[in-house]
Amino acid sequence: MILGITGGLGCGKSTAVKVFAEMGYRQIDSDRLVREQILTQPTVIESIRARFGDEAVTPDGAVNRIHLASVVFDDEGALRWLEALTHPLVFAEWRAQLATAPDARWIIEVPLLFEKQLENWFDFTVCVTCAPASQLTRLEQRGLSRALAAQRISKQLPLARKIELSDLVLLNDGSPDFLHKQIDLLVGALTVAR
């Protein structure tokens, strides 16, 4: 069984994935995959340098993710170019990891699951949601200004639409224990359905 988990920026997707992992699910964090495996490939780094200039690469040869983010979140064409470069590599890595344990229970964290029409990858889609005020507070606690948080949120589908499109929804406005209980119930139901 493969679950795709999505939700708004700062709603608690990663927290929910950790709980699923504690319950025996193998996990893939798509953002981490991009950071640690895709953006570190020499051919990807050189493509980014060629497209965005030397400022997009640090003196030690790594992708300058802060600079790159500031460029692509302001330029839709640049964002589409970067996605066209990185997404096929992400999907290839998903396939490779899933092939290592095809009968296992998997959870894949995909912030842009619906935006990129990736529903067919998954047996079920799960959306983690919280109130907008909680979302902004969490993002500020991560060091994002309200303006930058709002800009990044605007690049995603509205949370209400993600909820409509998802098979299952987790509410993350309460305590960590409340989220854990929801996931426990969900995993129990999915185990019975399997």
The predicted pLDDT at position 9 comes to 82
Answer whether residue 108 shows pLDDT above 70.
yes
C-alpha distances out from residue 70 to 5, 56, 95, 180, 190, Å: 26, 10, 30, 35, 40
Q: Give residue for tokens 């992708």.
A: 63
* Nearest residue to 130 (alpha-carbon basis) of 138, 120, 118, 122: 138
Q: Write the pLDDT tens digit of every residue in 39-94.
A: 999 999 999 999 999 999 999 999 999 899 889 988 899 999 999 999 999 999 99
DSSP for 7-35, written as a single string: E-TTSSHHHHHHHHHHTT-EEEEHHHHII
Q: Write the pLDDT tens digit of every residue in 124-183.
A: 999 999 888 887 788 888 887 877 777 777 777 888 899 999 999 999 988 889 999 999
* Nearest residue to 68 (alpha-carbon basis) of 93, 48, 89, 90: 48
| Domain annotation for the chain: domains and CATH numbers | 1-26+106-194 (3.40.50.300), 36-99 (no CATH)
